[in-house]
A and B are shown apart, each in its own frame.
Chain A
């Protein structure tokens, strides 16, 4: 097992496309790190550079204390699991599992075994030891009964297990997993996700996992690395990233349903400030406004010259948006809003556009005067689609992001 370290690693393709841009990343020994981001964000390229399948344009990659920039993939002591499984179709499951060990045999020569009894003995022992390793891996993954089959005769889940097994038998310094679950159906994916966690606990191996599925990333990783356009946007534990997203991209990407991001601007009003929500794309049209404490407004306006109104994005998780039962006023009440100052809750009228029921909870899609909001409710809301409701926004849980292209978090 080993740690992995990336320093200022970039990948520029011949056409000039900068797929990965000056990535710095430290992965500790035994850590389960998930690289997550939308397709084309450079996460797979980063993984492939660690694997040695892709040359790096600049920077340094270390595995353990060895710089591996110019080390061939086979000598990096890594194992990789591919999205397409990449099982050798002409070999049985056992042969597939053995395959990575064949190149590592130190007593491989049949000829020398014929000439020297000592060598023959060592060779037999080595073969037996490798056989045992294959059997052990097959046992862990519960694929013992499949060992004599060809990949063609396996289901998707079984193929995935074999692919994991092939990585496992090598006992590598680092496991690299490139979207290993995305070819499985939803149910199997959940099952294999739990199994991956378990596998990580059992082996204690350093694992780097790539996925575009933020839910998978949240549930699997000790630590997430959120990437976009070849740049790391935020690194942290799932909870850190969920609770304090570094920018509006991360805020919108992590969490299901996605965080509500409301475009608008913050401006000073007398001693305090207010957030003015914009209606759709129209800069001039005001959907609604709410007052802000002076300290919060100051934090935002500190970033603009002469306290001029500053474009800002307001982020609210769906559980901070609550549809009120008829007669409920919105301040105080059951959500614990009593702890926050009354001025930090905003009650709005909205149209209920759609309802998504999950049995134990429901997601409500709302239109609050031209601003689309999604609310998550753990209690049933008995309102017909299309009707008007009153909505309470818990602004104590609001995130503020700069309204420019980067959307950096403002505290």
Chain B
């Protein structure tokens, strides 16, 4: 190792340690006995323990068992429900966001039509609205459509694009050489064909970013499912975690909350690790250069 690389490496190592510590602490607490976990929270015990005296791996099985509403139907049934709900909603929202945002971004970048500039600005302006402002009108709208207690209010809006991601796609597609579009036109593609066969494959780096962020946001979304999904069977994991807290508000069960939270995090972590290569590829290679 060259001496010059050492100071930045040390700095990064310290920063990483600081960033990772809460995660590690969650993991440690999830393996504690109820008494020690409670002590770690309120203080009085060994707050900054790096490893429990006797790791309680059984906490995880117990946490899964306690999750959701259908504990009585057998081990983990409630957890399975919540997992399935979260998966269906998250996958649909992610796919919908990618398809609609890239299509709209492509249109803003490449199709010349009257009012293009004005519409684009209008779309960007919607980003300035805080979601709290639209929450109640949206609820009333979806209620009048009879969509309450279905996943539709959570999923359908994703198929109408997300302003920020539309913007990202537009910026990326605007850099794709015009000649590529023209070649595709001569080769027989229409606008939809160009979007699907040329632009979407070229936008992989953007799509990776959109996919990861949308997935994580949707997976961890608490407010949306809480508002629109009222039956306990249709709960998502994020809401189920909250149910946990209410039920075990007394801090002696915090170890189970930590265990359940860690289990809930796994898909996001895996996705992020998987998409990392795409991120780097997107930055490093002249993917667009004809």
Q: Which 9 A-B pairs have the closest CB atoms?
A: A103-B188, A86-B179, A86-B183, A90-B201, A100-B187, A74-B188, A82-B179, A73-B185, A84-B290
Task: List the B side residues contacting A99 at CB < 8 Å.
Answer: 187
Q: Please measure, in the bound complex, the distance between the C-alpha atom of A78 and the C-alpha atom of B201, giving whole angstroms.
A: 26
Interface residues of B in 263-290 (CB under 8 A from A): 285-290
Query: What residues of B have a CB within 8 angstroms of the CB of A30 in the complex?
Result: none
A103:B187 contact, CB within 8 angstroms: yes
Write the residues of chain A forming the contact surface with B, with a CB cutoff of 8 angstroms.
51-53, 72-74, 78-80, 82-90, 99-100, 102-104, 151-152, 166
Beyond the given A79-B186, A82-B179, A85-B179, please list 4 additional residue pairs across the A-B interface where CB-CB is below 8 A: A53-B186, A73-B185, A103-B188, A152-B286
Is A84 in contact with B179, judged by CB distance below 8 angstroms? yes
A72 to chain B, nearest CB (A): 8
B183–A82 contact, CB under 8 A? Answer: yes
What is the distance, in angstroms, from A108's C-beta to the closest C-beta of chain B? 11
Give Cα A72–Cα B188 distance, bound, in whole angstroms.
Answer: 9
A-chain residues with CB within 8 Å of residue B289 when the two chains form the complex:
89, 152
A121 to B226, CA, bound (A): 55
- B contact residues around A86 at 8 Å (CB): 177, 179-180, 182-183, 290
With both beta carbons as reference points, the residue of chain A lying nearest to B203 in the complex is identified as A90
- Chain B residues lying within 8 Å of A152, measured Cβ to Cβ, are 285-286, 289
Distance (whole angstroms) from the CB of B94 to the closest CB of chain A = 21
Q: Determine if A74 and B185 form an interchain contact, defined as CB atoms under 8 angstroms apart.
A: yes
Known contacts A84-B179, A86-B177; is-contact A51 B186 (Cβ 8 Å): yes
The chain B residue sitting closest to A74, CB to CB, is B188
Residues of B near A100 (CB, < 8 A) are 186-188
CA distance A340 to B182 in the complex (A): 56
Q: Which positions 184-206 of chain B face chain A at CB distance < 8 Å?
A: 184-189, 198, 201-202, 204
Chain B residue contacts of A73, Cβ below 8 A: 182, 185-186
B residues within 8 A CB of A80? 182-183, 186
* Complex: chain A residue closest to B190, CB-CB: A74
Taken residue by residue from 165 to 188, chain B's Cβ proximity to chain A (1 for < 8 Å, 0 otherwise) reads as: 000000000000101101111111
Given A73-B185, A74-B186, does the pair A88, B179 have CB atoms closer than 8 Å?
Answer: no
Residues of B within 8 A of A53 (CB): 182, 185-186
Residues of B within 8 A of A78 (CB): 186
Within the complex, the shortest CB–CB distance from A151 to chain B, in Å, comes to 7
**Chain A hits for B182, CB < 8 A:** 51, 53, 73, 80, 82, 86
For A72, list chain B residues within 8 Å (CB).
185
In the complex, A88 Cα to B181 Cα: how many Å? 10
Inter-chain contacts of B177 with A (CB < 8 A): 84, 86
- Determine the chain A residues whose CB is within 8 A of the CB of B180 once the complex forms: 86, 88
CB proximity of A109 to chain B, nearest CB, Å: 16
Q: Identify 10 residue pairs between A and B in the complex whose beta-carbon atoms are under 8 Å apart, listed by A's number.
A: A52-B185, A53-B185, A74-B187, A80-B183, A82-B179, A89-B202, A89-B290, A100-B188, A102-B187, A103-B188
Q: Closest CB of chain B to A335's CB: distance in Å? A: 49
List, in ascending order, chain A residues with CB within 8 A of B179's CB: 82-86
User: Smallest Cβ distance from A184 to chain B, in angstroms?
Assistant: 14
Separation in Å of the B192 CB from the closest CB of chain A? Answer: 13
Query: B185 — which chain A residues lie within 8 A by C-beta?
Result: 52-53, 72-74
Expressed in whole angstroms, the Cα–Cα distance for A314 and B189 within the complex equals 53
Q: How far is the CA of A85 from the CA of B289 in the complex (A)?
A: 10
Tell me the complex Cα distance, A89–B186, Å: 17
Q: Which residues of A contact B286 (CB under 8 A)?
A: 152
A170: nearest residue on chain B (CB-CB)? B187
A90 interface neighbour in B183, B187, B188, B202, Cβ under 8 Å: B202
A103-B189 contact, Cβ under 8 Å, with A82-B183, A88-B180, A90-B201: yes
A84 to B289, CA, bound (A): 9
Nearest-CB distance from B190 to chain A (Å)?
Answer: 8
A90, B177: Cα distance in complex, Å: 14
- When C-beta atoms are compared, the residue in chain A nearest to B289 turns out to be A89
Known: A80-B183, A89-B288. A74 touches B202 (CB 8 A): no
Chain B residue nearest in CB terms to A76: B186
A78 and B183 alpha carbons, distance in the complex (Å): 11
A62 and B177 alpha carbons, distance in the complex (Å): 29
**Which of A82, A89, A102 counts the most chain B CB atoms within 10 A?**
A89
Report A167 CB to chain B, min CB distance, Å.
Answer: 9
- Chain B residue contacts of A85, Cβ below 8 A: 179, 290
B290 is contacted by which of A51, A102, A103, A151 (Cβ under 8 Å)?
A: A151
> Which chain A residue has the least Cβ–Cβ distance from B204?
A90
Q: How far is the CA of A87 from the CA of B177 in the complex (A)?
A: 10
Residues of A within 8 A of B202 (CB): 89-90
